[in-house]
Each structure stands twice: as structure tokens, then as C-alpha cells.
Amino acid sequence: MNDTDKRKLLSGLSHAALILNAVVIPVLVPIVILLATHDPIVRGNAKEAINFTINIIICGVISSILILVEGIGVFLLFFLAIISFIMPLIATIYAVKNVNKPYRYPLIWHFL
């Protein structure tokens, strides 16, 4: 397996794990990939996947609180569920097609 194929696999897996691993903590796969590789593109994709997961968790907590306060949280959680499926899917496709640039999720806070 050459470096390009390895980069495609690991970058795609960083983002796809957020979809495929929704029951178990989805951030574990990107963390393992981040720690296991020294490729800057793969590390960038793994960091973005971790940042996206952190943002989804924060928005989920805020939406859950808004269910109790205002009731609008139900709609926000529904919207969040859709976003948490579609955005990693787009990121996975982008990461596999563009092996020389990490995917950047729009409108998220970057912690890493």
C-alpha cells in the first residue's frame, strides 16, 4: 500500500467513524489515528473529526437544556441529528478525493 492509498484510507476512516461508530464513542477512532500517524494531512483530518464531535456534543447538551427551558430543543436535536450524519459523509468523500488537503468542517469551533 503506497502513501496515497494509506492517506485516503486513514483520512476517510477519521470522518467515516463518526457515522459508523455512532453507538460507541465516535471520537475514539480519530484519536487513535491522530496518535498513530505522523502524516500531516491525516492528522489534520483526524483533528477536524475530533473537533466536529466535540461541537456536536456541546450542541447536543445545549439543545437538551433548551428542551426543558423552551421546548425548541426538540427541533434543534432533530436538526443536529441530520447534521451529524450529513457532514461526516461529505467530509469522508472530500478526504478520499482530495488527498493533499484536510477537510475543514464549516461553522465549528476548533479546539485542537
pLDDT at residue number 4: 86
pLDDT at residue number 33: 92
pTM score: 0.89
Instruction: Choose among 91, 102, 88, 92: nearest CA to 22.
Output: 88
pLDDT at residue number 93: 93
Q: Which residues touch 44 (CB under 8 Å, ≥6 apart)?
A: 102
Mean pLDDT per 10-residue segment, the chain (112 residues)? 85 86 74 92 94 92 88 89 92 92 93 86
pLDDT at residue number 49: 93
